[in-house]
A and B are shown apart, each in its own frame.
Chain A
């Protein structure tokens, strides 16, 4: 498959937040006012001003010792992005030809942001309070087009963040999965089938984040996508009807 992809190896991530802050710096996003709500995780959630968020979760492992999981959350840049189906205007959300990056435009101001957020299996898009613009990770497409790595990848000290041609990232992800299986028998790769951001997780995805993995219903597509696939022919049908109606009048 063409285009680029991220491979995020959470077995190497130390939750340092270098990626979270590099993203803010490159995109010149403001900091928001936060308070310590009982976790290292801050801000508490993604927002119009926070495209990349390291999520922290704690548990007790099978050996009775604590585990602390770090999940550098971001837009998955789906190969076939469900969010793209929501706006009427096909150019409100663009898929970049070179990289496959899913890019939001200001045309989204006209779209109900809740619908866009609902459509996303990973709960990523966030609206600006008051204006309705929607924003998320851009894959640093401006950097990538100029031969640079995305800011978060460039910053990562441990090699948790990787980026490159999708095929190469798929190979790397599979290689790392094989390497860690002995130490982490429950290890999986999330998102490798249909997105451009795959996560190597040492444990069950739900232990990292509710949306670490898209919820799947039998048939292999998720509820939201299923609803849309059904809705789509109706929409197209409605256009045909309108055309016929017009011709008829």
Chain B
């Protein structure tokens, strides 16, 4: 989230789309409720009328996979009806930037597409430069090649008729939503978006979010209280896991994983350290080398020196142009290219798309280690439906691990708040905390490497620093301090003197010369000489809910990021009733400012040369309406899901995302516009179960409330298939099938798409064959192995199925 949970109460208009917050983030609804009590409005847009919809001021449905069409229509509405916040747009975003001549968009393709590799060469997605090498700008937003005018042109095709025909949403409903939401473009009003997997799990997932980000920039909703782009993360600490880089393409703190072509540390740093010629741009990523070198020092300690590039070459690199995501892992595994696999605190046999492929892939392994609290479909894959244990050579180890309340540590929530948690009780039986399991595993591997004279490339193992134990047990405090970072020698920075061994007070003090360490620069400031900031528990007595002394958040405890955009150029808040920061003449008061530099104008109205533009993480200092960094385009564009119910895309002749990943084994079947699979299908969750149900299916009180896999469908579809409410049916896709209880409900209605009736159904993915026996299996047996080209998150929210009576 750019904002945080409590801040939601400050919103004048909350759009919940691509999320069912009341269902899956029930505690968050406390803040939505509070916002509504204060007069804020709630809009729910969802293929199905959900628990969230039941509380909304306005609900309207849309077909799964058509969010860009819906929101693109809103962009058109905002521009045509001049609902945008002009000063904010012109001054704080790149709407005023002039785009270079060679950039083009034609019939669904941006300039630079290579049909052979199905990727873009993005060099034409660039700005015209002025004599100083900075992007040329027209702050009046009138130049036909400025981003604003190109945006207007791009979304001129998203008229109400076309949008309605693609989404299935009635035209009058579209207008109503657009009108309600765009009212937040008024100065002093704020609108927020709460989204989740309903937006991310698509081949256009990232572009879904980009579309909303553009809307929020048009309306001046970034950096303000009650605004922002707010992802409701799907798990209590997934924010922590992404911050600490447990994804192939990033290093802790969202640094990049090096590629094979970046042979030296300086090559790597040069590639990822952006430059700017504009003295008013803070260009915070310009500090990149300080963060990468400090990270390497945390990994390798004293062994990392200038002479060996701080151990840069002891770390694995990605082959250029190759992806190593979840979908790629199981693709390679299915092809027999993995010997072993740690399924650590996860259940891929039920959680990953195209679960049959995953289950078959596990059978190709020599060994599998499943670290988990309960037995599950992954650890027991070899005795699952359709498996013959006699023909499976995989040796499986189950390592029981401790539950979260049996160990101390931190959890980072969606709002970036790192909250320390205490150990409440001892782990049961032989179950052990993950940190202890990892420590012992590492120590044993290191011992084997030390002992073996012929060990291949031992440096990464033997040089890894591992001083995170106390009495041989993993010590979360030691790790938390390492994450914050230390001064490794006596040093003076910015006029302040530090001793070797002092904790670094904030990332502003990190160095690129090896004198500091930090296992995650973003978390530098979280554990300092003042103590464990994440353990603080003081509530604010008054204010807009920032709670600056409750836990700690990144970066440097800034609760609402981009907050320099919440004020005008003199430093006065747009919204006087909910100010985030305010310039009091000599400094900023309120939230931690997004940089302490003074406002852009002096009190006499002349430019202040000491200022910086508000969006400090972009090299140009301006927020990106035109976003040249994405794999599939600088502007969002509607494409149909890989499996869709229509032959044509009404917006262009490219039916699907031209860069969406596709896999080619015999287990990767895709059937689009196929009469055998005529219904749109989506997957979702319920309040009562958690993820694949590994923890919740064993909990009798929870299972009592939601005992079995169900498929929700409209009464019209039920009649078509002769199905009664409560009756068992088969749901099948090109990849697999499940038995489910039909839940016939008016909360699903048939859509009219391009003049044809299109039915949609949905299933929760909480069940698995291990337990209970009559509960049903994973809905992921149906979902496709394709996903977003930027993140490769699978497209589990829109695919095609059939429903049949048994």
Chain A positions near chain B (C-beta within 8 angstroms): 11-12, 14-18, 20-21, 24-25, 30-40, 42-43, 58-60, 65-70, 157-159, 179, 183
Contact = CB atoms under 8 A, between A and B. Distances in A.
B33 A31 contact: no
B30 A159 contact: yes
Given A15-B51, A158-B30, A58 B746 contact: yes
Contacts of A60: 746
A158 B725 contact: no
A65 B702 contact: no
Contacts of A12: 33, 55
B743 A38 contact: yes
Nearest to A29: B701
A15 B709 CA distance: 19
A16 B704 contact: no
B706 A58 contact: no
A20 B29 CA distance: 18
Interface string B698-713: 0011111111111000
Interface in B31-87: 33, 37, 49, 51-55, 57, 59
Nearest to A54: B705
Given A14-B51, A31-B701, A32-B704, A66 B26 contact: no
Contacts of A42: 704-707
A16 B747 contact: no
Given A35-B707, A38-B744, A66-B49, A16 B30 contact: no
Contacts of B55: 11-12, 14
Please indicate which of the listed interface residues B22, B52, B55, B705 has the most CB atoms of chain A within 10 Å of its own CB.
B705
B436 interface: no
B742 interface: yes
Contact-size category for B? 35 or more
B687 interface: yes
Q: By DSSP majority rule, is chain B's interface helix, strand, loop, or mixed? A: mixed
Contacts of B59: 65-66
B375 interface: no
A104 B54 CA distance: 36
B747 A36 contact: no
B704 A58 contact: no
A38 B703 CA distance: 15
B508 interface: no
A36 B26 contact: no
B687 A16 contact: yes
Nearest to A18: B26
B128 interface: no
B705 A17 contact: yes
Contacts of A20: 705
B704 to A, nearest CB: 4
B705 A65 contact: no
A70 B705 CA distance: 14
Interface in B203-231: none
Contacts, number: 106
Contacts of B52: 14
Contacts of A39: 743
Q: Is the interface of A mostly helix, strand, loop or mixed?
A: loop
B741 interface: yes
B531 interface: no
Interface in B672-690: 686-688
Nearest to A21: B701
B516 to A, nearest CB: 42
B700 A40 contact: no
A156 B26 CA distance: 9
B287 interface: no
A65 B749 CA distance: 10
A36 B710 contact: yes
A190 B686 CA distance: 29
B743 A36 contact: yes
B316 interface: no
Contacts of B705: 17, 20-21, 34, 40, 42
B742 to A, nearest CB: 7
B26 A68 contact: no
A159 B743 CA distance: 29
A39 B727 CA distance: 11
B27 interface: yes
A58 B33 contact: no
B186 interface: no
Report which residue of B37, B53, B707 has the largest number of chain A beta carbons within 10 angstroms of its beta carbon. Answer: B707
Interface string B723-749: 011110000000000000111111100
A33 to B, nearest CB: 8
Nearest to A50: B704
Contact of B707 (A25, A30, A36, A59): A36
Q: In this complex, which of A14, A38, A60, A157 has the most chain B Cβ atoms within 10 angstroms of its Cβ?
A: A14
A14 B30 CA distance: 10
Given A25-B701, A58-B747, A157-B27, A37 B33 contact: no
B23 interface: yes
A40 B701 contact: no
11 contacts: A14-B29, A21-B701, A21-B705, A36-B726, A39-B743, A42-B704, A42-B705, A65-B49, A66-B53, A68-B51, A68-B54
B774 interface: yes
Nearest to A14: B22
Contacts of A158: 26, 29-30, 33
A31 B703 CA distance: 8
Contacts of B27: 157
B51 A30 contact: no
Quick one: which of A12, A30, A60 has the most chain B CB within 10 A? Answer: A12
A59 B52 CA distance: 16
Contacts of A40: 686, 705-706, 743
A91 B708 CA distance: 43
Nearest to B708: A36
Q: Give me the 6 closest cross-chain CB pairs, A-B, nearest first.
A: A38-B726, A31-B700, A38-B725, A31-B704, A14-B22, A36-B741
A198 B680 CA distance: 42
B61 to A, nearest CB: 9
Contact of A16 (B51, B701, B725): B51
Contacts of B706: 36, 40, 42
A60 B746 CA distance: 8
A36 B772 CA distance: 13
A33 B707 CA distance: 8
B717 to A, nearest CB: 14
Given A21-B702, A66-B746, A158-B33, A16 B26 contact: yes
B708 A58 contact: no
A158 B26 CA distance: 8
Interface string B510-525: 0000000000000000
Given A36-B741, A42-B707, A30 B30 contact: no
Contacts of B708: 35-36
Nearest to B743: A38
A64 B395 CA distance: 57
Nearest to A20: B705
Given A31-B704, A36-B743, A68-B53, 8 more contacts: A14-B22, A21-B702, A21-B705, A31-B701, A37-B726, A38-B725, A42-B704, A66-B747
Contacts of B37: 179
A200 B55 CA distance: 14
B319 to A, nearest CB: 46
Contacts of A33: 704, 707
Among A32, A40, A60, residue most surrounded by chain B Cβ atoms (within 10 Å)? A40
Contacts of A11: 55
A139 B703 CA distance: 25
A31 B741 CA distance: 21
Given A31-B700, A35-B707, A157 B743 contact: no
B736 to A, nearest CB: 21
B489 to A, nearest CB: 50
Nearest to A39: B743
Contacts of A59: 746
Interface string B188-205: 000000000000000000
Contacts of A37: 726, 741
